[in-house]
Amino acid sequence: MKMSKGRTGRRLLGFAVAGVAQVACGAAFAELGQPAPWEFTLQESATPVMDDITWFHNFLFWLITAITLFVLVLLVMVVVKFNARSNPVPSRTTHNTLIEVAWTLIPVLILVGIAVPSFRLLFLQLDVPKADLTVKVTGKQWYWSYAYPDNGKFEFDSLLAQDKKPRLLGVDNEMVVPVNKVVRIQTTGADVIHSFAVPAFGIKIDSIPGRLNETWFKATKLGMFYGQCSELCGKDHAFMPIAVRVVSDQEFAAWVEGAKKKFATAPANSFASAGAATQ
Ligand SMILES: [Cu+2]
């Protein structure tokens, strides 16, 4: 189907208006701890590590934008000022020491400027501080198991709950952690490689059979935080969400007491013990 120029223009204008409206609404729709419709930014941060990731992402974004615009301006200048019509007798200049030093040195300085916060962030992620509690996360086809070795050695399975909101993110048993406490995550896979990822916490770490990977987070906000398995692990890869509830110290202590009893006898626990038995 052929469109007239006017119609194409109107369509483009329509898309542009819709885009701007979505940009304006994107912030309004953004919800803590979960994705939002038409959201295109990073999820709102809930840990110091994610604060740094967000800062670094924005820093790079503006840097890249400035470099791209600078190169665009240079290209436009070349096209306009130095084409055959406006510049019929080209200069035969081949070297300019000052410019050559500058275009070597300035990119080096820019890369060093990127490297410093980049390495600082890497070390922040990789150096696990003294942990207040450890949660062992086991990825299984296709659900997660959480064990709390510091809090009474109970383990439970967390499966997708079809009836819960948000759709495809709600689970039957959430992982629960206290607010403002350093939580060490130790993760492994029981069958194939999975990946434990919670965007608002800035963590994503592979759960590999036969290995114990380690990461950490310190949630500074109360609420529900969702993530998903982030390594293709089989047919139900998309249906093994991660749900973390961040609560106060008192609520956490109460939850631990309840969980010890609930998961000592819960039938769902057979999944966890079945996984352990086959290892
Ligand atoms: Cu998986």
- Cα–ligand 1 centroid distance for 191 (angstroms): 10
- Cα–ligand 1 centroid distance for 235 (angstroms): 9
- Cα–ligand 1 centroid distance for 195 (angstroms): 6
CATH fold, domain 15-85+97-126, is Helix Hairpins (1.10.287)
- Cα–ligand 1 centroid distance for 130 (angstroms): 28
- Cα–ligand 1 centroid distance for 232 (angstroms): 6
- Cα–ligand 1 centroid distance for 238 (angstroms): 8
pLDDT score recorded for residue 264: 82
- Cα–ligand 1 centroid distance for 39 (angstroms): 24
Tokens for 230?
Answer: 């982030």
- Cα–ligand 1 centroid distance for 193 (angstroms): 7
- Cα–ligand 1 centroid distance for 209 (angstroms): 12
pTM score: 0.81
Q: Are 196 and 241 in contact (CB under 8 A)?
A: no
Tokens for 276?
Answer: 């352990």
pLDDT score recorded for residue 265: 62
- Cα–ligand 1 centroid distance for 139 (angstroms): 6
pLDDT score recorded for residue 29: 53
Q: Are 216 and 248 in contact (CB under 8 A)?
A: no
- Cα–ligand 1 centroid distance for 229 (angstroms): 5
Domain ranges of the chain: 15-85+97-126, 133-278
CATH fold, domain 133-278, is Immunoglobulin-like (2.60.40)
H or E stretch including 147?
Answer: strand 143-147
pLDDT score recorded for residue 7: 64
β partners of residue 184: 134, 216
CA distance 238 to 77: 49
pLDDT score recorded for residue 18: 56
- Cα–ligand 1 centroid distance for 236 (angstroms): 8
Helix, strand and coil percent figures for the chain, each rounded to 5: 45, 25, 35
In order along the chain (279 residues), what is the average pLDDT of each group of 10 residues? 56 59 51 87 95 97 97 97 93 93 96 97 96 96 95 93 92 96 97 97 97 97 96 96 97 96 65 44
- Cα–ligand 1 centroid distance for 78 (angstroms): 52
pLDDT score recorded for residue 256: 96
H or E stretch including 32?
Answer: none
- Cα–ligand 1 centroid distance for 231 (angstroms): 6
pLDDT score recorded for residue 73: 98
CA distance 51 to 68: 26
* H-helix segments, the chain: 5-29, 48-81, 97-126, 249-265, 269-278
pLDDT score recorded for residue 22: 53
- Torsion 124-132-35-188 (CA) sign: positive
β partners of residue 246: 177, 223
- Cα–ligand 1 centroid distance for 233 (angstroms): 5
- Cα–ligand 1 centroid distance for 60 (angstroms): 31
Which residue has 């409206």 as its token pair?
21
pLDDT score recorded for residue 208: 97
